[in-house]
Structure formats: structure tokens, C-alpha cells
Structure 1
Amino acid sequence: MQTVAIVSQKGGAGKTTLALHLATAAHAAGIVSLILDADPQATASRWSQWRDGAEPDVIDCASPPLLAKKLDQAAELGAELAVIDTPPHADSMSAAACRVADLILVPCRPRAFDLDAIQTTADLVKASGKPGFVVFMAGPQRAIHLYKEAAEIVAGFGLAIAPVVLSERAAYHHATGAGKTAQELEPGGRAAEEVAALWAWVRQRGNVLTRKHVSKEAAA
């Protein structure tokens, strides 16, 4: 099982939005996926309730020592991808998530205060020795210079940038409030295109294969 940790010490960075959309994209691709809700605010868990049991499953885990055990249990039950939604300002849980992750994503708005706040998160990622990337969230749809400047700041912290931005779009807000994701609410919309592109990149980075691909490899 592959594990993606969504980590940021900054509140309101978009961690839950990123976790929900990636796990749902994986599920749509035929991968048995789940969200591990490690945030005491339990936003992902509430979203799951609004979905009336529709997959992906959301599992609560507010205790860092139990994180690895929960992931092992999920793998034994057949999960192929786990996405960990971590809380802000919780070094112990964030550090634990980084330790068990195969890939770490750091959501960040391309704004001065948000960029300054990810330095602590960057230190956690580097200490874990795991590959980590910043995903720009909720920024303007067309702002080349803004993203260029933001990328330079992030590079100074020693982190790389994911090649896909999840822009500020109403579809993300409307979807989560309805217990859905942007790709479910507006399958042909721009937000859905962004999520699909980000998921394709994450799947490649994390070596996460769809069942269709696995079948082809087995047949070979």
C-alpha cells in the first residue's frame, strides 16, 4: 500500500480539500483508497457522513502512536492507497505522518504569510527523508509572476513544487459542502481537469498503479 501524507503547519492551507480530491480520484481510477483523518476537527469525517457511505472510506486517527497500526490494518483489508489528512499546529502527528508516508504533499496558498509559514513544515519534510512537494492551492487562475515568485521562496526552503495548481474555483467549495468532490460535481469542469492532472502526477510519483495496469503487468 502506498501512503500520501498531506502536511502543513498552516491552518486553512487546503489540506482536507487536497486529501478528499486525491483519494476520490484514486477511487475513480479503480484503486482501493481511503482517507485517514488525523485532524481532531474531523472535517474529512463529516464530509464522509454527507456522502451517505459512498467511497472512499474515511478512518479516524487522532493519536500519532496509532497511525502506523491503522495503516497496517488498512493494508491487510486490501487498501492500495492511503491519504493522511493531518491537523495544523501538531508537530507530533505531522512528524508521524511524514515517517510513514511514501510521498508528502504540502498545500500552500501562493501568498506571503502562507509561504512564510511553511518553513516549519519544510523542516519536517526534510527531516523525514521522504520526497516532498508543495502544491499551490486557491491561488489566481492566471498569475504567472505570482507563482514564479512563490516557487522561488519555496525553493529557498529546500522543497520542490508540484507541476499542477489547484486554483481558486467555486467548484471546490460547492462540492465539498455537498459531500462531493469537484470531479463528481462538475465532471467536465476546469477544477475536475486540475484534479485529474494532479492525480496523474501523484500516481506516477508514488508508483500507484490502477487495477487495469496491474492486470496487464500480471498478464505479461
Structure 2
Amino acid sequence: MHTIVLATQKGGSGKSTLAIGLALAARQAGFSVRLIETDPQGTLSNWQRRRNDAEPVVEPIYHAADIEPRLKMLAESGLQLAIIDTAAGLSAATTAAIRHSDLCLIPSRPAVADIEATTSTLSVARAWKRPFSFVLNQTPIRGQRIDNAADTLAEEAALDLTEVVARPLIVMRNDHQDSLAVGLGVSEFAPNAKSTEEIRGLWRWIANRLDLSATATNLLIDEVMSTADVVLHATDALAQDKAASLAS
């Protein structure tokens, strides 16, 4: 199982919306997903109550000591992906989530205050030697501010820009909030829109970063083999019926 954590000091960065969007994109790519909510504000739980589909399950975990054993149980159950949405600021639960993550995503709007607020989260990821990437979220469609923000984040992390800033950038679009309001992911709400294209692109970037392509391939192979077995059994049954009919 792989664990992705969305964390940052500043509120309003879009962690919950990104967590939901990525969970649905991963499910549509063939992965089993659990959303874990450590934010008492309950954005994910509220979203699930508005939702008609039971999947993905949203599981609230508010105590830091519960995170590691729960992730272990989920991994042993065969779950492939856990996505953890954390509260704004730093807490024991957020630190524990980052500590046990395979990738810490740090969302930030392309504004100085938001970029400065990522420092404490970055420090925790580095302290536990966890992989991390910034996600430039709620960006304008175009403008110099985006490039400046990306460059600043790369300087802050002292790493190559291609490694530290996830792609594509997520543009501020109404689809994200509109889908949240009706209990959907953006890829369900507007499957052919630019917003969905960006979220799916971000999921593919993450999957490549975590080397999840092999898992997706195995799932596809299993699905094809299962379908082939069904067809084979159906063909055998028809042949037997035909033989019985001729014999009679």
C-alpha cells in the first residue's frame, strides 16, 4: 500500500478538494482507495454524507497514535492507496501522517504568504526524510506569478524544479467547488472538462513518482484474465449444451 498525505500550514490551500479529486482519479485508474481525514473540520465526512456512492470510504482518524496501526491494518487488508487529508497548521496527527507517508503533497496558492507558510510542513517532511512535492493549486490561468511561485518553491526546497513541483498546475475553476457541494469528485461532475484533465494529469504524475504503473498494469491483466475465464466458461457451457442437444 502507498500513502499520500496532503499537508500545509495555511488553511484554504485546497487540501480536501485535491484529496477528493485524486482519490476519484486513482479509483478510475483501477486502484482501491481509502480517504483518511485527520481534520476535525470534517470536510471529507461532510462530502461523503452528500454522496450517493459509498466509495471511496472516508475514515476519520483524529489521534496521532491511531494512524500507524490503522495504516498497517489497511495495508494488510490489501488496500492499494490511502490518501490522508490533514488540518491546517501542524499537529501531532499531521506529523504522524507525514512520518508514515510515501509522498507528502504540499499544496500552495501562488502567493507569497502561502509559499512562506509551507516552510514548517517542509521541515517535518525533511526531518522524517519523507519524499515531498509542492502542488501549485488555485492558480490563475496564466501569468508571471505562477512561474515566480514555482521558482521560489524550488529555491525553498533546494531541489530541481522538475522534482519538487508537481505537474500540471491546478487552475482555479468553479468545477472543483461545485463538485464538492454535490458529493462528487471533479472527474465525475465534469468528466470532459479542463479541471478533470488537470486532476487526472496530476494523478498520473504522482503515480509515476511512486512507480505505481506496474500495479495498474497488474490490475488490468487481472481484469482481462478474469473476463477471459468468464468467456471460456460460457463457451464450454454452450458447447456442452449443443452436444447434449445433438445426442438427444
Say which SS state the counterpart of residue 8 (structure 2) adopts: coil
Deviation sequence 1:184-220 (CA, Å, 0-9, x none) = 011000000001100111111122247650157789x
For 1:77, the equivalent position in structure 2 comes to 77
Query: In the alignment, does 2:166 pair up with 1:167?
Result: no
For 1:130, the equivalent position in structure 2 comes to 130
Partners of 1:208 and 1:165 in 2: how far apart? 21
Query: In the alignment, does 2:146 pair up with 1:147?
Result: yes
Say which SS state the counterpart of residue 35 (structure 2) adopts: strand
Moved more, 25-34 or 150-159: 150-159
TM-score (norm 2): 0.83
For 1:19, the equivalent position in structure 2 comes to 19
Determine which structure has the larger helix proportion and give its number. Answer: 2
Residue identity matched to 2:145: L
Contact 1:30 1:210 in 2 (8 A): no
Partners of 1:212 and 1:152 in 2: how far apart? 33
What is the aligned-residue RMSD (CA, Å)? 1.8
* Aligned CA distance change for structure 1 residues 69 and 186 (closer, same or farther; 3 Å): same
Residue identity matched to 1:150: A
For 2:207, the equivalent position in structure 1 comes to 203
Query: In the alignment, does 2:180 pair up with 1:176?
Result: yes
Unaligned runs of 5+ in 1: none
| Number of residue equivalences | 218
* Aligned CA distance change for structure 1 residues 216 and 85 (closer, same or farther; 3 Å): closer
Deviation sequence 1:148-189 (CA, Å, 0-9, x none) = 111122123216111211110000010000100111011000
For 2:90, the equivalent position in structure 1 comes to 90
Residue identity matched to 2:102: D
Deviation sequence 1:7-55 (CA, Å, 0-9, x none) = 1111111110111111111111111101110111111111111113431
* Aligned CA distance change for structure 1 residues 38 and 210 (closer, same or farther; 3 Å): farther
- Identical columns (%): 32
Per-residue deviation at 1:68?
0.9
